[in-house]
Structure 1
Amino acid sequence: MECCDFRFVSGEVRCVEREREALVRFKKGVIDERGILSSWGSEDSRKDCCKWKGVVCTNTNTNTTSAHVIALLLGYDYKYYRYTKPLRGKISDALLELRHLTKLDLSMNDFDDQYPQFMGSMKQLEHLNLRGCNLHGTLLPQLGNLTNLRTLYLWGDYNLRSENLDWLSHLSFLHRLDRASLT
């Protein structure tokens, strides 16, 4: 079952400040020629990250006025890849501050970077899509720490490799794996 793609935003509910700051740090590490992240900012009119493009929040506690980021959806359809310029740069470890993040889609962007090893610490992730991100390097067994993972897409990252795929045996909830280009 896919993660809930909905927004919970009402008059007084705003994103958690620590999470907003983490997203701003993530934005600083990328080049955004298409303006995908133009709704992201620190100005008062753009301070609620739950209203930002690609950010999904939920308020799990009705007694609070803050909502947590549960999904970051910045991937785009590969059919348009050759017509548009994707996000470029680095995937920042600032994402570790998104402690309620269950869905991360950065597919079809051009990060041209080492596989971000810190992702093995994002234990709450259920859906991870890094398809076609131009990542390279070695996938470490720490991905086996993502025991809640249900879907994992790595297709199209032809420079990713793994010495050993035993870590997959720790992903007991995994029901969709696309790693066709993993060597």
Structure 2
Amino acid sequence: MSASFLKTFYIFLLLSLLTPGINFTFNNSSEIGEPKCTETERKALLTFKQSLVYDFVMLSTWTNHLNNTDCCKWKRIQCNHQTGHVHLLDLHGNYPYTPYLRGAINVTSLINLPYIQHLNLSRNYFAMSYIPEFLSSITNLRYLDLSHSYFAGWIPSTLGNLLQLHYLDLGQKKELENASIELSLIYSKVSYKAMKHGIYSKSKLSYGMYKQG
């Protein structure tokens, strides 16, 4: 048997043994390469959490531990699988039963979550605080539910700047003032913008009505 044949045989054998290892490495690289939430958005969520009193179970995964830095894996959050940006935040409670959030909501930190499309803060207890006008800065919002969370005062007309909004529920009891008038203005404003941009069919707004009493 010639030396060149043996050399070729051993090279072929070596490549056969190494191939599974090479594939395994590529597979792992693919998993490692999946997008994670950005540092800015992770910090924004932790800042938002600090402003609230909450049931431990509700936000138990929202931590700053070294092995838990990917907020896309936290409970009540969904991220875009391609970009890693947070696009859904579902923090609905079950007030008066647990779990639910309490306190005066500090929504300014959510400005650093500009890609959110779905925000649900319903059935919590926000201590008769005002609905934050900063919500109108989250311009990608398509779904907003603040119902039965003990907000008080006027409904900010700036919510009418949310052109992408498809669903709005602000249903409370008697806490919000001039509710029906403000809702009509918001609805008209969003509808007018939608028609102006030729996307009325995509921006039809549904909203929760108020029950006085």
**SS of the residue aligned with 1:14?**
coil
How far 1:156 moved relative to its partner?
Answer: 2.0
Greater strand content:
1
Partner Cα distance (2:174, 2:165) in 1:
22
Change (3 A) 1:114 1:24: same
How far 1:158 moved relative to its partner?
Answer: 2.7
Instruction: Report what 1:134 is aligned to.
Output: 150
Instruction: Report what 2:20 is aligned to.
Output: none
1:125 correspondence with 2:151: no
CA contact (8 A) 1:107 1:131 kept: yes
1:45 correspondence with 2:67: yes
**SS of the residue aligned with 2:134?**
helix
Partner Cα distance (1:119, 1:181) in 2:
24
Instruction: Report what 2:53 is aligned to.
Output: 31
Q: How does 1:3-152 map to 2 (within 5 A)?
A: 11-12=32-33, 13-61=35-83, 67-76=84-93, 78=94, 81-92=95-106, 93-112=108-127, 113-152=129-168
How far 1:181 moved relative to its partner?
Answer: 3.9
Partner Cα distance (1:157, 1:104) in 2:
21
Higher normalized contact order (CA 8 Å, seq sep 6+, divided by chain length): 1
How far 1:90 moved relative to its partner?
Answer: 2.7
Letter in 1 for 2:186: W
Letter in 2 for 1:101: I
Which moved further from structure 2: 28-37 or 143-152? Answer: 28-37
Percent identity between the two aligned chains: 32
How many residues get paired?
Answer: 166
Partner Cα distance (1:128, 1:180) in 2:
16
Partner Cα distance (2:97, 2:49) in 1:
22
How far 1:160 moved relative to its partner?
Answer: 1.3
Partner Cα distance (1:143, 1:182) in 2:
22
Letter in 2 for 1:138: W
Letter in 2 for 1:118: F
Instruction: Report what 1:179 is aligned to.
Output: 209
**SS of the residue aligned with 1:177?**
strand
Instruction: Report what 1:5 is aligned to.
Output: none
Deviation readout 1:56-107 (Å, 9 max, x if unpaired): 101445xxxxx0000100114x5xx333241112322101111100000011
Uncovered stretches (5+) of structure 1, i.e. residues with no partner: 1-9, 62-66
**SS of the residue aligned with 2:85?**
strand
Uncovered stretches (5+) of structure 2, i.e. residues with no partner: 1-30, 192-202
How far 1:139 moved relative to its partner?
Answer: 1.2
CA contact (8 A) 1:30 1:87 kept: yes
Letter in 1 for 2:97: Y
Greater helix content:
2
- The alignment yields a C-alpha RMSD, in angstroms, of 2.0
